Amino acid sequence: MDNQRKLERFKEFVQNCTLLDVNQLIVNKASELYVDLKRKGELIQDADILIAATAIVNDMGVVTDNIAHFSRIEELKIDNWLK
């Protein structure tokens, strides 16, 4: 699939999604998660920490195939639809 078609499919997908703004509660939670993961020597990418914080603050889970990273965050609900 060419890049233009991928972009079109992504735009179609986003139209059916609810987009959540990053707010101070999410930033605070992301900071807590970062500190905890760093203390344990289990840091993950900043974007993943922000995704997790957004889900936690909004009482949602994360659907991902990246169980290894996200499972480091104990309070996060995780679901893998590929298994």
In a domain, 34, yes or no: yes
In a domain, 10, yes or no: no
pLDDT in tens, the chain (83 residues): 689 998 999 888 889 888 899 999 999 999 999 999 999 999 999 999 999 999 999 999 999 998 999 999 999 999 988 87
Decide: 42 and 72 in contact? Cβ < 8 Å. Answer: yes
In a domain, 11, yes or no: no
Question: What confidence score (pLDDT) does residue 18 get?
Answer: 86
In the chain, the number of structural domains is 1
CB atoms within 10 A of CB 7: 10
Q: Which two tokens stand for residue 53?
A: 């914080």
In a domain, 14, yes or no: no
